[in-house]
Copies of this chain bind each other. A is one copy, B any other.
Amino acid sequence: MSGDERSLDSRNLSPAMSSALARFRDGEVLALARAISIVEDERAGFEDLLHSVLAVGPSACRVGFTGPPGAGKSTLLAAAATSYRADEEHIGVIAVDPTSPYSGGALLGDRIRMNDLTTDPGIFIRSMATRGSLGGLATTTKEVLDLMDAFGFDRVLVETVGVGQIELEITAAADTVVVVLVPESGDAIQAMKAGLMEIADIFVVNKADRPGAARLAHELRQALHLKAGNTFKDMPAHHGVNLSRVLRGERTTEAVSPGGQTGWSIPVLTTVAQNGEGVPELLDAVETHRHWLAASGQLKARRRSRTRARVEDIVERELGRVARRSERAREVLESALDDIADRVETPYSVARRILDGLLR
């Protein structure tokens, strides 16, 4: 499906990887699935594969759905996907569940809701198992998003559960972020509101046929109004930025607005995803936001900001890998264990020696 604008640099790829890439570029869904597995497992050469694939660059519309468990994100996403499919768009879906590495996640219900769609060859659904890749899940998921993008889907929809840090980071890889809430969320929402305000491009109060929906929508509009003065400054800044570092204060969030004069006013919509109520309005809002992104220069700015964060993520991941695979580091460590136990050394002095051996 993807275009073929420029020749890819696949010199570093193994024969197996080259053939996978060729089939990927021919639009074979199985090759996409295989490429995703290669990236998820960080198999040898996976970064070369991504390098080759990324030479095509981003073109899909990326829409993220996030919110607390039980908000109906999957149902809403399924309704959106169905509508896009009616327009014959090709859709990629990524569902992320970063819960306990042991629980295996709570995606079963979501998968069942998706079932109607899974037989449609125009839609490709992948759920990201966490397998405990702490810190790595966000980066890997963004890479899978890139793969889907490069494969040529018109739209890639990402669903994350909750608003923890990993979810926030993943969400930042979307162009448009839809935050889904329900009246029942209640107090939990209060606590999360600050964070949600930062990441939402569009708010949806789902299950709007239940009591409290109008009040929640009203509260959200009020909260948005209160911070309207600095909405533009705050709102898009998280995109592409490594939130964990921002929150640690290690990197300043930068305003990515080119001018600052054309703000985006975050809409608060109501839906009943189960029967499709309000879904057309939501999809309209997504389109409007998309146009605003392009017209205001935000799309380019967000992508640039994402690129910056991505390079830093790749560097950090590789540094960790180098350290773990260093034969010398292992020797230094093993030979120092007794000295640490005897307090002749400490983990800090040993780490320093290992670092001196690794760094220029």
Give the contacting residue for A165; candidates B132, B250, B323, B354; CB below 8 A.
Answer: B132
A164 to B97, CA, bound (A): 12
The answer to the question of A133 belonging to the interface, with a C-beta cut-off of 8 Å to chain B, is: yes
The answer to the question of A112 belonging to the interface, with a C-beta cut-off of 8 Å to chain B, is: no
| Of A98-106, A203-211, A282-290, the one touching chain B | A98-106
A310-321, CB under 8 A of B: which get 1 and which 0?
A: 111011101110
> Separation in Å of the A175 CB from the closest CB of chain B?
15
- Chain A residues 267-309 with CB under 8 Å of chain B are 300, 303-304, 307-308
The answer to the question of A247 belonging to the interface, with a C-beta cut-off of 8 Å to chain B, is: yes
Most buried by B among A51, A165, A168, A349: A165
A102 to B104, CA, bound (A): 26
Tell me which residues across on chain B come within 8 A of A312, comparing CB atoms.
Answer: 323-324, 333
> Separation in Å of the A66 CB from the closest CB of chain B?
12
A207 to B329, CA, bound (A): 48
- Chain A residues 320-344 with CB under 8 Å of chain B are 320, 322-324, 329, 333, 336-337, 340-341, 343
**A56, B343: Cβ atoms closer than 8 Å:** yes
> Separation in Å of the A82 CB from the closest CB of chain B?
30
**A307, B337: Cβ atoms closer than 8 Å:** yes
Q: From A162, which residue of chain B is reached at the shortest CB distance?
A: B100
The answer to the question of A358 belonging to the interface, with a C-beta cut-off of 8 Å to chain B, is: yes
A55 to B343, CA, bound (A): 5
**A319, B358: Cβ atoms closer than 8 Å:** yes
| Of A26-34, A191-199, A227-235, the one touching chain B | A191-199
**B351, A318: Cβ atoms closer than 8 Å:** yes
| Main DSSP-derived SS at the A contact region | helix
Tell me which residues across on chain B come within 8 A of A198, comparing CB atoms.
Answer: 102
Most buried by B among A243, A300, A341: A341
Tell me which residues across on chain B come within 8 A of A168, comparing CB atoms.
Answer: 101
Tell me which residues across on chain B come within 8 A of A195, comparing CB atoms.
Answer: 100-103
- Chain A residues 33-68 with CB under 8 Å of chain B are 47-48, 50-51, 54-57
Given A304-B337, A319-B359, output 10 extra A-B contacts at Cβ < 8 Å: A48-B348, A56-B343, A101-B247, A132-B248, A135-B135, A307-B337, A312-B324, A315-B354, A319-B322, A359-B359
Residues in A lying within 8 Å of B, measured CB to CB: 5-6, 47-48, 50-51, 54-57, 99-104, 106, 131-136, 162-166, 168, 191-192, 194-196, 198, 243-248, 250-251, 300, 303-304, 307-308, 310-312, 314-316, 318-320, 322-324, 329, 333, 336-337, 340-341, 343, 346-351, 354-355, 357-360
